[in-house]
Structure 1
Amino acid sequence: MRIVRRQTCEAKFCSFLRFDPNSSITTTQWLKDHQLARNFNHHYRSLSETAILQHLQTILQHQPDNTLAFKHLCAYLQETCYWVASRFIHQYSLPNQFHSSVDNLIQVFKIAEAETLKLDKLLHRLQQYDPQRSQLKTYLQKWLKSAIADAIYAEYRIAKYSNWGLLKNSSATALRKALSQQGYTPEQIQTYQMVVELFKSVSSKNQPDTQELDVIVTLYNQQSHLEITTKQLKQWLDDCIEALRQYEQQKCPHHYASSLSVIESNQEEQASFSESNIPITPQSDHSFPTNAEEFQPLLEEALTYLSLEETDILFLHYGLNLQQSEIATLQGVNQSSISRKINQLHKKLAQLVTQPLIEQKQMNLKLNYKTLPKDAVIMIRDWLEAYFKQPIFQQLAEVFQLQLNESNQTCLRLVYGGNYDGNQPLSLEDVAQELNLTVEELEANLTQSQEILQQGVVTMLQEKEMNSLVMKQQKISDLVEEWLRERAIYSLLTPPQKQT
């Protein structure tokens, strides 16, 4: 699912992204807020995008109750919320919590959108923003990504320690140990393990409904050649839950107690996330450096200790945005194998990176990737993504300069980079008029340019002997689109001279 890029300033500050829940294939559309449009035409029509943002920020700092200014800013951040949510879904390989990856994207988008609606937090972030260091969208993306991670971790933690979430997320080994500690016989444990496995395979959410319980009973009776009732099944599952609670409490009493207090304030069972897929930890009490400048040389050195196969996996995952299942298909292995390898690489990098810092600061800590502070984890992942995408984006910059003609460069720069002053976005109609082209001719020019850029990525993959990736046309197209939209520095890529 992709969104149409808003072309004009009015659209950016006056429209909101909405999903059509009634469509069999979820679609998106930009809905204009007519009140905002009238206000925009009255106050901002002649201003650039940068000037509008500065004006809105100034208004909200002095008049935080100015509803129109706040809504303009929220509308502007809609695209940022979407792209942050989209990248988060791909990068963290979230399990299918709902019915499809589209539903996951919508839910994560709503988390980011809700964060922008918190005026105090938004103003606090804007006050810390330094326009000399980065663009506003790039700056806010890091904040929203962190907010999404916090929200998902909170939801995951609640679900894992709720009754049915605990049962669904527990391994067979943990269940066996828990039941054994409660004095159940091996025969009883085997029976309980069987019904729990049936529960996991049948129940689509944490808490099974009556129909699902009936299905479990039917399957159990068929496989065991015994007859049990739904009431008896429910009692067995309750016994397993109680045993697991006792086992978790003995194993990790402090974490259990803090999580339990959260559950008591939560009225509904929430869908669970797999622990292996969400290696996001709460804030640690200890002080640990999260400065990128301290980590960067250590990360660069740590990568030299990886094998070619390990580096390729990270390149596929972070550089090309391939999900674990896609990497597994390319390499002819199970998805669980790739998941395990990536987790092992995370741990290996964490050890190589943190140990020198711990020794340097004389810190008595034993840290790994899962126990690092959340900010450090996100920073390391951001660095890995930037590191493995850098050669791809460098290749695109070279293709832009060396293989695209002046007409191609001019069209891309005006459509994606703004006008000749670099701060006013232009619609396709405006660009076509500026270049004395029809819209159809402009679109054909853009398509030709994008195909040349995509071929540049294909050439790089072939040089890396990754020929199987050449068929991943959509991934390559997405990377080119990301570079054009957010990473290309058009002022450094042979900026065209305005014709007089």
Structure 2
Amino acid sequence: MHSRQSLTDVFSTFARFDGDRFKGWTTDPKLRRSMLNRLKQTPEAKTSENFWVLYWHKLWSAASEELEASQARLSLAEGHLSAYLQEACYWVAQKTLARFNSTHYNLSDYFQTAIAALPKILRGYNPDRNSTLKDYANVAFKSTIRDSLRASQEIDICTNWALLRKLSKKRLGEALEQGGLISEEIARYQLAWTCFKECYVPTQANKTRQLTKPDRATLEAIARLYNSERHTQIDIAEPERQPETIEQWLANSAKKVRSYLYPKMTSLNAPKPQSDSREVQDLLSATASESLLVELANREEVQQRQARKSELTAVLATALDKFNAQNRELMHLYYSQELTQQQIAKHMKTQQYTISRRLARSRKTLLDALVKWSQQTLNLSLSSHTIAEASDVLEEWLQGFYSQNNH
């Protein structure tokens, strides 16, 4: 992947894929015009990438707290930030692909899974507490992909019948409603599911994720229970149902649940059908845009934030330099190469618990340095909440520090 150079490209282009290969950058014309117009308005900020990250995030945050009138601004700001994070998302997706040899998902699948979490990432990012949006997103992208893989594995491993037994009634109802069923159908499916759980109780021997389909006798028992309960649970006019119908309903329920819990991935950048033909930037409130520019263009505030981040980097980098060669190698293998503790233990010819303890001690050394700096520079009082926040900041910093060094 070749990096984008100009600010206009960074905030208006998107990665294009061909299976597991990056094929280049695609420009969004609306976002490009939006950036060009704003760069003309604020020449003093032309060379500051961080300025525009803060600007678009502030615009996004303000728009997300307002009503429908702000949807155009929300969409524009989110588009620019999505473009900005394309490279960060790509590297996370590529590392995940190299680490997990999945037969079902390729690079673009991982990429789309991660970038789809952008609204959640933007809500969680705090410019005053977190290091940079890119570092924060790196951590969030990894977590999103891994959570998705865990969910996918659970759903793929379970048979329909094992999956149905693991469900709650509320989750089943949500899945059926999402699947387009009307209330009367949902009531029938839920009663059939309740009867299934009542009649098909796995034995200790077959209580596994590979639970097989109920035999004919069990299906008949489920149908009998359904028919005896149908008048009180659903409607007096509900007819009797055959075992084959109950089996079909249960199979459809499992299918709806799989689609609900693990939906197909769709590109965040795919055009919306029947979208407004007007330019997004034409719908923006000029007053709100200008006031945000004035607020964010306060160079003193931006410079102070940048100075603090530079100080923090110097403090932690100095603490890292004091590590012995083994611990420096350990941090490199864990954060830059992203090896597991077991893999590192094998590489360094030691036990996994030894690696775990050394990692914990190394993090504590860095955390102590960070907390001390925070107390001296930011005048923060020491509390469990402060330490927890410092720990999150440290983890983001380590991810960003080793990611930059690696690339």
Same fold (TM over 0.5): no
TM-score, normalising length: structure 1: 0.36
Greater RCO structure (CA 8 Å; 6+ sep): 2
Q: TM-score, normalised by structure 2?
A: 0.43
